[in-house]
Chain A
Amino acid sequence: MGLYFEGRFATCRLMTDIEIVQLCLNQDTRELGYKHLVAAYTKKIYWHVRRMVTNHDDADDVVQNCFIKIWKGLPQFRQESKLYTWIYRIASNEAITFINEKYRRSSIALEGGEYAYSALLADDPWFDGDDTQKQLQFAIDTLPDKQKQVFVMRYFDELTYEEIAAIVGTSVGALKASYHHAAKKIESFFAAGLNRT
């Protein structure tokens, strides 16, 4: 939902997703609807993407690409899914595509392992985490794309399994299994880290 100011007294009310969709699907009001859509989902999408790509500049690029695709895809949006489901799907796929292309061009995060990645985060002016958080972020980055996607949506975005299933198109049971495996990998990673210290 997004904030919507109407009338000469500027009363503020929250615009629902249904209202935003109705504005977006009407060619005459599409720009207004898109404006409300951006205002409603910018932060959510940014943090979702940021959790997946870690770096702020990378997240900025991905988010802008995502909203460009949303604008271009609005005429074809058939309301077969909810608005936020559709938006999250676009954002997740854009993030995964970006990660794959980035790591195809550069293997900095892989070569040297955990300590090189930790050094990379240490140079990032927009990351204030301690060693534990650096390790967690590195562990998430080692996950396969789909597992990373599910883990971020469940662990950080706190979406339900049903909502995640609608976004990624996988069954709830498969998602639960995927999340369980991801969590176990990260826990094992920390366990190994503790053993190293």
Chain B
Amino acid sequence: MEPNIEKLKQQINPNTLRVPEGYFDALEASIKDRLNTEATADLVKHNKPTIIRKLIIVTAIAATVTAIFLSVNLFLQNRTNNVLNIALANMSDNDLDAFMNTQLAALSPDDIYGYLNENIGQVNAVEILNNSFSGNEQIDASITDNLQEQVLDTDVLKAVMQSDEGSTEGKLLESVDEELLEEYFNNAMLFDHLGL
């Protein structure tokens, strides 16, 4: 006859399974200690990045710094030329001609020479300067104007008319202001040196 399981329960010693003395009091303390240990471990785990996380962070920082550096470098490289280039490219031909005439006309030959010598380098700045002028009329025009005024002076002319015709030229030259004449000949020498 099979034993009834409920009757079996009545036969079983209820103290079959034992526990150490004071176990349940110690159990509560053990649970509390384990909670504190796990909380500390979780805190350390979250605060301390793993090696992979460190590598990712370092790589990200390096990539960001490199990108910023390259961007700034590229921006500054094009900036100095871009502003003027863009302004000139957007000008119409008429405006550009007027701009060139105004700006260049305001420059003295020394300014132009200095700019060419500094920025163009090996190119013969003198040659360019010389080719910029159509002839020597522009330079000595002001000087001859002064001479003409002196030559046309009536006193000087009368003196020349009354003198010997053979020495007209010599007397004419003697009547001209010496300082002005010296300046004229100096400039003539200059053009001679320049090959004009």
Stretch at the interface among A5-13, A17-25, A39-47: A39-47
As a 0/1 sequence over residues 7 to 40 of chain B, the CB contacts with chain A under 8 angstroms (1 = contact) are: 0110111011111100110011011001100100
Known A42-B28, A68-B35; judge A190-B18 contact (CB<8 A). Answer: no
Pair B31/A68 contact, Cβ less than 8 Å: yes
User: Chain A residues with Cβ under 8 A from B166's Cβ?
Assistant: none
Task: Verify if B121 is at the interface (C-beta below 8 Å from A).
Answer: no
Q: How far is the CB of A92 from chain B (nearest CB, A)?
A: 18
How many A-B pairs with Cβ below 8 Å?
Answer: 71
Nearest CB of A to B25, in Å: 9
A64 touches B34 (CB 8 A): yes
**B137 on the interface (CB 8 Å rule)?**
no
B24 and A187 contact, CB distance less than 8 A: no
Decide: B31 and A38 in contact? CB cutoff 8 A: yes
Q: Contact check: which of A39, A127, A191 meets B2 at CB < 8 Å?
A: A191
- In the complex, 26 of the A-B residue pairs with CB atoms within 8 angstroms, ordered by the A residue number, are A42-B27, A42-B28, A46-B19, A47-B17, A56-B17, A56-B19, A60-B23, A63-B27, A64-B30, A64-B34, A67-B31, A68-B31, A68-B34, A68-B35, A126-B20, A127-B16, A128-B16, A129-B16, A129-B17, A130-B13, A133-B13, A136-B12, A187-B2, A187-B5, A190-B3, A190-B8
Residues on B close to A: CB < 8 A?
Answer: 2-5, 8-9, 11-13, 15-20, 23-24, 27-28, 30-31, 34-35, 38
Taking A39-B28, A56-B20, A188-B2 as known contacts, 6 extra A-B pairs with beta carbons closer than 8 A to each other, sorted by chain A number, are A42-B28, A56-B19, A63-B27, A132-B11, A155-B5, A183-B5
